[in-house]
Chains A and B, each alone.
Chain A
Amino acid sequence: MCLTIKPFAMRQILYIFISAVVISSCISSDSEPFNERNFDGTAYRPIYVTESELNNIRISPPSELKDPGKIYISDPYLFINDRGTGVHIIDNTDPKNPVKLSFVSIISNYDIAAKGNWLYADNATDMLVFDISDPKMPKLAKRIVNAIPVNNFPPFQSVFFECVDEKKGTVINWEKVVVDKKPKCFR
């Protein structure tokens, strides 16, 4: 828009100059956080779970919804994810009277899909398969390790973060913390 052709070269140069200034100011404001001077004393720290915590899948009687997230229907069942903690299995034969059947406790679970007798759920980076032929008593049928690749950095840009140490376990989340020293990792 700024670059409409004008008869006078001087004016063109002026426009080009102005747009160059505008563009460069955008670039610098965007890339500013990459400048390490911007370290503000905070950083993201990975929250780990150990393998035994990850593998701790429990089937519980129906429980209350706490932080409902995504939903999936596979008639006559309705699956409600409780964010980060597991899946409620509901009999939705009568939508006027949905009946809670069970709760499958799965750490770092956000996603579900189902077909027939099988329920698929994420468990951090793993995928779980449950036999739900008895939906009151689902059975873990299979675990596929590392089915869902993750990034070893927080889902934010232009931030410092504590580098991931895979020996500590699987990263399930990131928390913002005050740190004394600037961490090595940055994105």
Chain B
Amino acid sequence: MFSVAVRQNHCTMKKLIPIFFICLAIAGMVILISSCDKNSSESAVSPQSGQGGSMARFAITGNTLYIVSKKSLEVYNITDGADPVKTTSKNMDIGIETIFPYQNYLFIGANDGMYIYNNNSPQNPALISKYTHIQSCDPVVVQGNYAYVTLRSSTFCRGNATPSSLDVVDISNPSQPSLVHTQSMESPYGLGVQNNRLFICEGDKGLKIMDITNPKLPVEKQLLHDIPSYDVIVRNNRLIVTGSKGLFQYQFDEQNKMELLSKIPVL
């Protein structure tokens, strides 16, 4: 808008000033309305039926059960819980690993990228885009405008040549996901996010806590070596983690103080 104004002569510029402010006001309104929209859909999702970790191949939203096989997305209507009825099956490339529903989208982690499906019609999701990355194992979680994807290199997911990493992908425009940040990781498996905390399971290396006050730039705060971790669920300041030593439940606060609530050990 400015560049347009600058090109005009002084006189027209003066005329344009009120228009500029009107535009600004409209833009502000649009932002306000859209943020309200987001909040309302977020709260609509929160009384959810259940919650899995980021490693899941099964996910439920409302009356729909999603299953990702190695090469497809299978969709079931579970209005009658005892009798799932298949509504559609979407063929995908091979190497599909995880599914994470968020608001009206499904984020599907694959060996070579992350697929985003529109979920407005839950029983017939539509592919919007695919964010492509190097070959790796890669669960994903999403909060706000950002998806956090861990890429673990292992022989299982083809080659140890590339180091493991955490990618931050801007998904504010789901049809054009774009990488905004990447940093190296040890051996990341599942991950979980809540407010300004991102938890990353680093396998037998431990559980990593990162600060995402700036959502584009996760900053490592702690690596808890004594919590080997594979999958994690974060909910209401509580953390449920599984790993080679068993299942651990923690309560955490803003100061990263982790209080162990209980554990079920591996014996």
Residue numbers of A with Cβ under 8 A of B are: 64-75, 78, 80, 90, 92, 95-98, 100, 110-118, 120, 122, 127, 129, 131, 141-142, 144, 147-151, 155-157
The 8 sampled A-B contact pairs (Cβ below 8 Å) are: A73-B52, A78-B240, A113-B59, A113-B65, A114-B50, A147-B67, A149-B70, A151-B70
- The minimal Cβ–Cβ distance linking A73 to chain B, given in whole angstroms, is 5
The answer to whether B50 and A72 have CB atoms under 8 Å apart is yes
List of A residues within 8 angstroms of B191 by Cβ: none
Q: Chain B contacts of A73 at CB under 8 A?
A: 50-52, 233, 235, 240
Return the contact of B249 from the options A64, A98, A116, A120 (Cβ within 8 A): A98
Which B residues touch A92, using CB under 8 A?
Answer: 249
Binds A, one of B5-13, B75-83, B114-122: B75-83
From the candidates A68, A114, A116, A122, name the one contacting B247 in the complex (CB within 8 A): A68
Chain B nearest CB, measured from A93 CB (Å)? 12
Q: Is B84 an interface residue (CB 8 A)?
A: yes
A69, B67: Cβ atoms under 8 Å? Answer: no
Residue of B nearest to A30 (CB): B159
Q: Which residues of B, 130-173, contact A by the 8 Å Cβ criterion?
A: 155-156, 158
Which B residues, 234 to 267, have Cβ-Cβ distances below 8 Å to chain A? Answer: 235, 238, 240, 242-244, 246-247, 249, 251, 261-262, 264-267
* Interchain nearest-CB distance for B101 vs A (Å): 11
Mark interface residues in B23-37 (1 if CB within 8 Å of A CB, else 0). Answer: 000000000000000
Instruction: Check if B265 sits within 8 Å of A65, measured CB to CB.
Output: yes
Q: A71-B53, A148-B69, A149-B70 are in contact. Are A113 and B264 (CB under 8 A)?
A: no
Residue of A nearest to B66 (CB): A113
* Interface contact A115-B49, CB-CB below 8 Å: yes
Bound CA span A111–B264, Å: 19
Residues in B whose Cβ lies below 8 Å from that of A71: 52-53, 231, 233, 240, 242, 247
> Chain A nearest CB: distance from B83 CB in Å?
6
Closest CB pairs A-B (n = 10): A74-B50, A118-B81, A113-B58, A115-B49, A68-B242, A64-B267, A72-B52, A111-B57, A111-B58, A148-B69
